[in-house]
Chain A
Amino acid sequence: MAGITIKGLSKHYGARDADVAAVSDLDLDIKDNQFVTLLGPSGCGKTTTLRLIAGYIRPDRGTIHVDSRLVSSPDTVVPPDARHMGMVFQNYAVWPHKTVFENVVFGLKIRKVAASEARRKVEETLALVNLTGLAERYPGELSGGQQQRVALARSLVVEPEILLLDEPLSNLDAKLRERMRTELKVLQRRTGITFVYVTHDQSEALALSDMVAVIHGGRLQQYGTPFEVYSHPANRLVADFMGLVNLVPGTVIDAANGVGTVQAAAWRLKLPMPDGAVPGEAIEVAIRPENIRLAPANRRSGLVPATISDRTFLGSVSEYYAMLESGHVLRVQTHPLQRFAVGDTVAVEVDASQCSVFRRAPADATPVPPADGAAK
């Protein structure tokens, strides 16, 4: 088993001067035996990163080490066939002209495993992915989920140190996707293989990963546990990508030792402060809809009044749009049994411990592109 260390990795496509960076200056430390997700909207560079790890492409700058072995640098790239990795592709890439057995046994043949041993291993692996009895079928006779499992079995049978997965569930329907998600997680725990998993689906990333690397515009935005990335996003891009978020503009009142007070809309909140924030600076407060509470209006202190402007019943939650007196509209998710009518005046309460503060764009070192619409 193996860990992966990525340092200063960059890859440009097209002409150098055009400067279309697919990946720029990426640092990532993937520990042995972890399930790590590369998460980002399409075109963010996550697949390029995966293909760099696999050795299909040569980096322009930076290095990739597997354990202490250098496998990729601008000068040398260990070819994919010598990396002891496995890869599962978005379209499965199950060879249509080979049976399930022939697909799975391929890697063992390359490794010159004796036929009887190979047969045993293939059968074991097929059992592992719940494909027992389908060995003689051709991929054309299998469903999408079954083909996906063939692809998994084909990668697992050779016992790779690292398994790379490129959006492996995106072609499956919602129900099947959820089931395969669980199976993947179990499989990773059971085999102890390091999984590097690419997806644009944040819920998939949260559900599966030990660590999530949020990538946007070819840059690593945040690397942390699913909980950290969701509840303490490093910047507004991450906050926006990891789910629904309200961004309320505000001003820093005071800041010291990483905490401070901000004035946002009608709230005065005590919050952790980003480095270098000074009093008077314009900031944004990110509040997730589920961290806002609505109460019937009775003007208790600390509660801010608002008017319900729209509501949507979503089954497990109700969603309300609440307009503050400052004119800002907040998206709020409540328990479905808590009901308000459009036009009602309500009191809005915010859980300060679950809010984040971001400095406004000009102060940011890197100009941040607008969040991708495909994000949610």
Chain B
Amino acid sequence: MATLTMPAPARAGLRRSPRLRLEQVIMAAAVVSLIVLVVLPLLFLLVGSVRGEQGLSLEHFAEVLSGRLYISALQNSLILGAWTGLFSLVIGLLLAWAVSRTDVPGKALIKITATLSYLSPPFLTAIAFVYLFSPNAGVINVALRDVAGMPWLAFNIFSMTGLVLVTVLHTFPFVFLLASSALQSVDASYEEAAQILGASKLRTAVSITMPLVAPAVLSGTLLAFVNAIALFGSQAIIGLPGRVVTLPTRIYALFDYPPEYGLASALSLVFVIITVAALYLQRAFLARRSYVTLAGKGARPQLMELGALRWVLFGFAALVFLISIIAPYSTLLAVSFSKSWGLDFWKNLTLANYKFILFEYNVTQRAILNSLMLAIFAASIAVLLGAVIGWIDLRTRAPGRKLLDYASLIPLGLPGIVMAVALIQFWLAMPLALYGTLMILLLAYVGRYIPLGVRSANASLRQVDPSLEESAQILGASWTTTMREVTLPLIRPGLFAGWLLVFVPVIQELSASILLFSSSSITLAVAVFNLYETGYTEPVAALAMVNMAIIGVAIWLAYKVGGGGIATRGGREGAVA
């Protein structure tokens, strides 16, 4: 709105209704929230990284860029990211191609594998693999050593190889989802045009199809990389015992007493730079993808007949399913019902672990309640904020609305643990004692997942032509009426999908929570992690199953109410874990 400079009488008879104010208050509140949630903490992180003993100093950066501990953490993170990216590319692209372009059997299985792998909390997969492959007690290693007599086949999960294995299981879906949607949206006529000009199938694939989908595939690979290096849980559970220290675990260690805020901030910023650089490349690749989606609905991809080879491909898909879904979940299920985990666990089955974590141990009870509450609030707030920010961006001419949109995307570049470091610095400097409360966790979650809220709202709002709102307006509807009667009903499915998109990761959030929780504000994921660290092998598995059950119910709700689509959206948006 332009400012009104005319004296009051000139406007006599014109309506200056109070609803404009309501509209403005809501929008202003959204802008302030975004600043408090994201912009200010980030500024405090910057300030913290350059504040030395006496005023400004680059000493922290000097140390993190020269100290052996930090350099090796940086190297390990990059190695982990590179290998994970590579394997995600190979597995994800192969499966995507199989599903969208071949006559491979069991396509539904492949899609389910990708979706479940994406939704599985990586630290639970990590714990499950420890139960199977820890050097001494892992049941498969024990079986190989003591039963089969083949100790040389034993696999030590506590290694970079183990870490890459566990991480890939979570990240290959990024490549899969982006690659399969790109492959499906390449209009068959592009390929038919090449073939009618005399190109062979292989030639067509190499010279037409591949260049068209390459941006999406590369973009998925970069998302896999970014997500892989940000996962605190698996890097702590698998990396630390194997002395593979990475950036998140090194930052975590800096908070051992006495906390090194300066170093943690500097290291966090180095981390952010890597993440942002990768995400920048990813966006650039994705932007080039536009000519694929242009083809739109006319797409009817050709399917390649593989003959006997299709069973080989199916075998590979089944193997991925076995390793990424069956192995971890059946292990956790088995452990959760065992009195004592080992080769002969089936001799002593019990429900005691569930009884313990659900009814006897007040820490886990509290953690479950806290997480449920936090997830419900965080998801609701993130989606509502997202809706307002999206609306401002798309429907108003407010100055700086694009800036607002960018600001809401910042958290994509912030690994969870970095978000926590930033929030700690900011809120310790504030007169409010938020540290250690549920409130700071809520702020962390809303801040981390606000991009998902904004993107879902944005995507849904784009589907709603402005004329639908305008036609309500010209019939005399106020802003609130228009929102209530037209806009919100139309974007409700999108908002609901967005709500679940936030709810699911919040229930399993560990990377930021691990630095922010206190004994009273403990969350589900932190409780799992702590129980695991203290050696409560069997109850951990029971708690993990409860965690999965909650996620399962949420996803079931998503398909029932939101009509699915959660996995695709999630894959495209690619929040940093």
Which B residues lie within 8 Å of A218 (CB)? none
Q: State the CA gap A55–B474 with chains docked (Å).
A: 9
Q: A-B pairs with the 9 shortest C-beta distances?
A: A107-B475, A93-B467, A89-B467, A75-B6, A110-B476, A93-B471, A80-B474, A80-B473, A81-B476
**A and B contact pairs by CB, cutoff 8 A, 9 listed:** A74-B2, A81-B476, A81-B478, A85-B474, A89-B471, A95-B472, A110-B475, A111-B476, A154-B471
Report B498 CB to chain A, min CB distance, Å: 18
Residue of B nearest to A102 (CB): B485
Report the minimum CB–CB distance from A57 to chain B (whole Å). 9
Residues on the A chain within 8 Å of B476, using CB: 81-82, 107, 110-111, 158
Q: What residues of chain A lie closer than 8 Å to B13, measured between beta carbons?
A: 69
Cα–Cα, bound, A89→B481 (Å)? 20
Whole-angstrom distance between the alpha carbons of A158 and B183 in the complex? Answer: 50
The answer to whether B465 touches A78 (Cβ under 8 A) is no
| B15 interface residue per 8 A CB criterion | yes
Q: Which of B4, B15, B475, B490 contacts A97 (CB 8 A)?
A: B490
Q: Is A86's CB within 8 Å of the partner chain B? A: yes
Besides the known contacts A86-B474, A151-B471, 19 further A-B residue pairs in the complex with CB atoms under 8 A apart: A69-B13, A75-B10, A80-B473, A81-B476, A81-B478, A82-B476, A86-B475, A87-B471, A89-B471, A90-B467, A93-B468, A93-B470, A93-B471, A95-B468, A106-B485, A107-B476, A110-B475, A110-B481, A111-B476
Interface residues of A in 87-144 (CB under 8 A from B): 87, 89-91, 93, 95-97, 106-107, 110-111
Docked complex Cα distance between A154 and B473 (Å): 12
A76 within 8 A of B: yes
Please give the distance in Å from A90's CB to the nearest CB on chain B: 8
Residue pair B477, A81 in contact (C-beta under 8 Å): yes
Query: What CA separation (Å) do A54 and B467 show in the bound complex?
Result: 12
Q: Is A79 an interface residue (CB 8 A)?
A: yes
Give B143 Cβ to nearest chain A Cβ, in Å: 58
Q: Which of A79, A86, A106, A151 contacts B15 (CB 8 A)?
A: A79
Counting chain B CB atoms within 10 Å of each CB, which of A55, A83, A107, A155 scores highest?
A107
Chain A residues near B470: list those with CB within 8 A.
54, 56, 80, 87, 89, 93
Residues of chain A lying within 8 A (CB to CB) of residue B467:
89-91, 93
A56 partner residues in chain B, CB cutoff 8 A: 470, 473
A39-80 interface with B by 8 A CB criterion: 54-56, 58, 69-70, 74-76, 78-80
Please tell me if B14 contacts chain A, counting CB pairs below 8 Å: yes
Q: Is the CB of B474 within 8 A of A106?
A: no
**In whole angstroms, what is the CA distance A106 to B13 when docked?**
26
**B473: shortest Cβ distance to chain A, in Å?**
5
A164 to B468, CA, bound (A): 15
Say yes or no: A75 contacts B477, CB within 8 Å: no
Closest Cβ neighbor of B472 among chain A residues: A106
Q: Does B486 sit at the interface, judged by CB under 8 A?
A: yes
Q: Which of A78, A91, A93 has the most CB atoms of chain B within a 10 A radius of its CB?
A: A93
With A75-B11, A78-B15 known as contacts, the answer to whether A95 contacts B490 (CB < 8 A) is: yes
Residues of B within 8 A of A74 (CB): 2
Which B residues have a C-beta under 8 Å from some C-beta of A?
2, 4-6, 10-11, 13-15, 17, 465, 467-468, 470-478, 481, 485-486, 489-490
What's the least CB distance linking B156 to chain A, in Å? 57
Chain B proximity of A83: nearest CB distance (Å): 7
User: How far is B470's CA from A87's CA once the two chains are assembled, in angstroms?
Assistant: 9
Q: How far is the CA of A111 from the CA of B478 in the complex (A)?
A: 12
Residue of B nearest to A166 (CB): B467
Give chain B residues whose Cβ lies under 8 Å from the Cβ of A90: 467
Of listed B10, B467, B490, residue having the most chain A CB within 10 A: B467
Nearest-Cβ distance from residue B20 to partner chain A, whole angstroms: 8
**Inter-subunit contact B475/A81 (CB<8 Å):** yes
Cα of A164 to Cα of B470 in the assembled complex, Å: 12
A82-B15, A91-B465, A93-B467 in contact; A106/B475 too (CB < 8 A)?
Answer: yes
User: Quick one: given A76-B11, A93-B468, are A83 and B474 in contact (CB under 8 Å)?
Assistant: yes
Contacts of A70 in B (CB 8 A): 14
Complex alpha-carbon distance, A76 and B476, angstroms: 18
* Bound complex: CA A90 to CA B471 (Å): 11
A154-B14 in contact given A75-B4, A95-B490, A96-B490 (Cβ < 8 Å)? no
Q: Are A81 and B473 in contact (CB under 8 A)?
A: yes
Q: In the bound complex, how far is the Cα of B387 from the Cα of A125, in angstroms?
A: 36
Residues on B with C-beta less than 8 A from A155 are 474-475
Q: How far is the CB of A71 from chain B (nearest CB, A)?
A: 8
A283 CB to nearest chain B CB (Å): 45
Q: Which residue of A lies closest to B489 (CB)?
A: A97
Other-chain residue from A54, A58, A91, A96 in contact with B474 (beta carbon distance below 8 A)? A54
| Nearest chain B CB to A149 CB, angstrom units | 14
* Contact, CB under 8 Å: A76 / B14: yes
CB distance B15 to A154 under 8 Å? no
Most buried by B among A79, A107, A164: A79
Residues of B within 8 Å of A96, CB to CB, are 490
Smallest Cβ distance from B7 to chain A, in angstroms? 10
Residue in contact with A93 in the complex, picked from B14, B465, B489, CB distance below 8 Å:
B465
Chain A nearest Cβ from B464, distance in angstroms: 9
Beta-carbon nearest neighbor of A57 in chain B: B397
Please give, as numbers and ranges, the residues of chain A lying within 8 Å of B478 by CB-CB distance: 81
B14 touches A78 (CB 8 A): yes
| Cβ-defined contact, B465 with A79, below 8 A | no
Q: How many angstroms between the C-alpha atoms of A89 and B472 in the bound complex?
A: 12
Roughly how many angstroms separate A56 CA and B396 CA in the complex, as a whole number? 11
In-complex Cβ contact of A95 among B11, B17, B474, B486 (8 A)? B486
A59 CB, nearest partner CB in chain B, Å: 11
Q: Given the complex, which residues of B lie within 8 Å of A110, measured CB to CB?
A: 475-477, 481
Q: Which interface residue of A58, A80, A83, A164 has the most chain B CB atoms within 10 A? A: A80
CA distance A110 to B14 in the complex (A): 20
Cβ of B479 to closest chain A Cβ, rounded Å: 9
B473/A75 in contact, CB under 8 A: no
Q: List residues of chain B with CB within 8 A of the CB of A79.
A: 15, 17, 473
- Do A58 and B2 have beta carbons less than 8 Å apart? yes
Contacts of A82 in B (CB 8 A): 15, 476
Q: Which B residues are in CB contact (< 8 Å) with A55?
A: 474
Are A76 and B471 in contact (CB-based, < 8 A)?
no
CB-CB < 8 A to B490: which residues of A?
95-97
Shortest CB–CB separation between residue A122 and chain B, in angstroms? 13
Across-interface contacts of B5 in A (CB, < 8 A): 75
Q: Bound complex: CA of A95 vs CA of B472, how far in Å? A: 9
Docked Cα-Cα span, A154 to B475, in Å, equals: 9
Complex CA gap A86/B472 in Å reads 10
Among the interface residues A85, A96, A110, A154, which one has the most CB atoms of the partner chain B within 10 A?
Answer: A110
Q: Give the distance in Å from the alpha carbon of A91 to the alpha carbon of B490 in the complex.
A: 16
Q: List chain B residues, Cβ under 8 A from A85.
A: 474
**Bound state CA distance, A93 and B4, in angstroms?**
32
A82 to B6, CA, bound (A): 21
Most chain-B CB neighbours within 10 Å: which of A85, A86, A87? A87
B491 to chain A, nearest CB (A): 10
A106 with B6: CB separation less than 8 A: no
For chain A residues 136-171, which have a beta carbon within 8 Å of chain B?
A: 151, 154-155, 158, 164
